Structure 1
Amino acid sequence: MGKKANKVGILTFHRANNYGAVLQAYALQTYLETIGVNAEIVDYRSAYLEKAYRGHSLANKDIKKLLRDLSDWPIRYLKNKAFEKYRKQYLNLSKTYLENNVIESNNMYDYFLFGSDQIWNYNLSGKDSNYLGAFVSDKKKLNSYAASFGTYRTREKEYLEMLKRFNKVSVREESGRKFFNEITNRTDTKLVMDPVFLINENKWKSLVNEKKVKRYIFLYTLQGEKTKMKEVAQYLADRTGLKIVEMQAWLRPKPKNFIPRYCDTPIDFLSWISGADYVITDSFHCTAFSIIFKKKFWVKIAECSEISDSRVGNLLHLLHLEERVIGKNLEKWDIDAMPKYEEALDKLKEEINFSKEFVNTIIKGEKIK
């Protein structure tokens, strides 16, 4: 009789109605399955995050904001249904756990992997210590894969003490590695790739669906309605004559050449990137999939941020793709310049191999190189 496969519980932001969050959860689960691991997403439902993504208060709002929220409610409802359908179809979920019973999951897994995404951004999780492993009794089971702090930095005693309990640690950004080592006095923290890079382009392409729009610019921004990225996309559209497909979370008037998408699934998100002539984004995961699909993509970094301090900037710097950042002077923008993929993909392959080796140190008990 063969050796029983390890069972690993993945603790991440899989309940967020965020395209990158649910796709990276699928990616880590899928990669672990390909190496013979029984992988399961711990279906932990944080009260704070459930309220943030599914609750919506109309209290203490002026009439203008109230009317706007009411007009957007159908979009939020339909988008939530689209994400729930994706989670049921693509994620291998455990039984549901809440804050008062997640401790019961201790006996269900040989190891836990915390990550990826910004699970160590204490503000983003509403200071939910379970994303720092508070419920795990055996710290030998505590491991992280590509965990991210985002821009969050704190030295709160409780926060530091919980992070110090982790056994094998990997983070997604160099800035996060420096911060973790500094606050824990460790030197063995590893830098690994986001889980979406652990499965190859062909696997991702097997999921995409064909769109009726054949030639277009795909615009995806996290900056909201007032972003200047629409101006950038419009400039590119004027130069190329292409339509702009934009994923939206709100009902607002759009120029005639914009094709707004309101309630698309995570698979639609993948598909729009895969089929685009150009991608314009400020999103980490939209950038990551643009690289995976070898697209002609451009990134807009917030003017208040240094490229080295941003999550997207860390990725571009690692792969020597800093030239994909759009400058302030659009007249100097060479819109048809292709990314230098030959060098970038060689570096990416190297980093992916190292990332997979790190996973093996946890699953097979191998030493970290």
Structure 2
Amino acid sequence: MKKVGIMSMQRIANYGSFLQAYALKQLIEELGCKVEFVDYHVSESIIIEDTDSKNKFMRKLQKGLETFRYHAPLLHKLSFIRYKQFFARRYMPLLGISKEMNYNPTLDCLVIGSDEVFNCIQKNSNVGYSLELFGKDNHADRLITYAASFGNTTLKKLIKYGKADEIGLLLKKFYAISVRDSNSGSIVKQLTGDEPVYNLDPVLIYDYINCCDKIPTFNLNEKYLILYAYAGRISNGEADWIAEYAKKKNLKIYAIGGIQKCADRFIDCSPFEVLAYFKNAEEVITDTFHGSIFAIITHRSFSTLIRNSVGNSYGNEEKIRDLLNRLNLVDRMTTEIKEVENINKKTINYKKVDNILQKQRRIAKEYLRKKIIDSGAKAYEC
């Protein structure tokens, strides 16, 4: 039995990060491998703002104080703080992760990805600039990626901060590179001269709805829409419009992932319960990558708000546009909240979307089988 490690964003208190990590673990275990998560050492971020603290306790305190500045009901703010505070304790064991860090284990294969593992030119001090995410100092016989993403890091930024050559040399040492978006693919091609493989995010590849027995069944007594967005990114004007829209449609607003001014409820639940809430929602409004994916795999009507990156601010336009383009769902995107009503009226042909997903699932499983196992063994469907 091959021993395979996954180095991802598995310790981030985020539903998308958790579910993509769980999905990739399931996909590799289906190949008959023993899987463990591998940690990386957090180094100083390339981009540092004056307000950033190098002390972990102070960063958490700053985040807590920031929560109280958001326009949202007080009870929602307190629930949000508890959700962040207890996320690791509640859900990391479901991934087989303990408090003890797992650095540089001896492995048959190390898989780096999915998520924004290559997003190295950013200010997130919980990730920083870690070359271990590019395979440095690994103790694996084989090094590959799966659906890795540079996120908002572009080749222009790598050159600007003098990191392009360093990253390029590390990328050339990989046995195989799989990316999830065109920006990441372009960077890999320009730094290595080789065309990477393109694969979809693991949440789309692992068939959660038909294969995961951890998603509960809910019988809710009210109709609701889900607002899945980071706290602080829905403007007051957008929140006011969403409140009026929901009232007109006689829907409650459930905020998941972040607190929102217009929400009737903030939902603090397990990652698997998130998918149960999505399955029962009348419709979805989101401004996140994985929020869009959750709506897609549960066949919901949804709109995705596009946020542009300005300066060092974190946008979503590169990854969202790429994702929805690959699934022929570009008509679900908008930069204007008022367009949501018309978008969510339009029926999505999920039969066509599922056909794309079935093809991409076969491609992804074959990539993992060939690059990890490198034998005639065949991946199976659940």
C-alpha distance in 1 between matches for 2:347 and 2:212? 22
1:172-212 superposed Cα distances (whole Å, 9 cap, x missing partner) = 1122112211121112x100011112321223464235264
Q: Deviations over 1:94-141 (max 9, x none)?
A: 78337xxx23x1x2x100000000010013421011111112155x51
Q: CA deviation at 1:164?
A: 2.0
Query: Contact (CA 8 Å) 1:40, 1:94: kept in 2 or not?
Result: no
Matched letter for residue 56 of structure 1: M
* In the alignment, structure 1 residue 22 sits paired with structure 2 residue 18: yes
Question: Is structure 2 residue 149 aligned with structure 1 residue 145?
Answer: no
Cα distance change of structure 1 residues 348 and 59 upon mapping to structure 2, 3 Å threshold: closer
For the Cα contact (< 8 Å) 2:286–2:305, is it kept in 1? Answer: yes
One-letter code aligned to 1:92: G
Determine the C-alpha separation between the residues in 1 that align with 2:19 and 2:133: 19
Matches within 5 A, 1:169-318: 169-187=177-195, 189-200=196-207, 201-204=209-212, 206-210=214-218, 212-222=220-230, 224-227=232-235, 229-247=238-256, 249=258, 254-255=261-262, 258-261=263-266, 263-302=268-307, 309-318=317-326
Q: Is the 8 A contact 1:13 1:119 kept in 2?
A: yes
CA–CA distance in 1 between the matches of 2:179 and 2:309? 24
Q: Is the 8 A contact 1:45 1:97 kept in 2?
A: no
Count of aligned residue pairs for this structure pair: 345
Q: Distance in 2 between matches of 1:238 and 1:249?
A: 21
**Paired residues of 2:307 and 2:335 also in contact (CA < 8 A):** no
Which whole-Å deviations, capped at 9, do the CAs of 1:253-283 have from their partners, x for residues lacking one?
x45xx32316433233222212111011011
The separation in 2 between residues aligned to 1:160 and 1:110, in whole angstroms, is 24
Shift of 1:45: 6.0
Q: Closer, same or farther in 2 for the Cα pair 1:280/1:133, shift >3 Å?
A: same
- Contact kept? 1:248, 1:260, Cα under 8 Å: no
Equivalent position of 1:56 in the other structure: 58
Deviations 1:323-364 (A, max 9, x none): 112363539715322212122221121111111111011122
Distance in 2 between residues matched to 1:309 and 1:113, nearest whole Å: 26
| 1:46 matched to 2:53 | no
Give the match for residue 119 of structure 2: 121
Once the two structures are superposed, the pairs formed by residues 348-359 of structure 1 within 5 Å of their partners are 348-359=357-368
**CA shift digits 1:30-78 (9 cap, x unpaired):** 12112211111124563769x99963348999xx969749x85774344
AA aligned to 1:27 is A
Structure 1 residue 284 displacement after superposition? 1.0
Cα 1:164–1:73 shift into 2, 3 Å: farther
> For residue 34 of structure 1, what is the aligned residue in structure 2?
30
Change (3 A) 1:364 1:59: closer
Paired residue type of 2:117: I
Which amino acid in the other structure matches residue 244 of structure 1? I
Give the share of equivalent positions with the same residue, in percent.
25
- CA RMSD, aligned part only? 3.3
TM-score (norm 1): 0.82
1:241 deviates by: 1.2
Normalised by the length of structure 2, the TM-score is: 0.79
Q: Partner letter of residue 33 of structure 1? A: E
Distance, in Å, in 1 between the alignment partners of 2:257 and 2:67 is 19
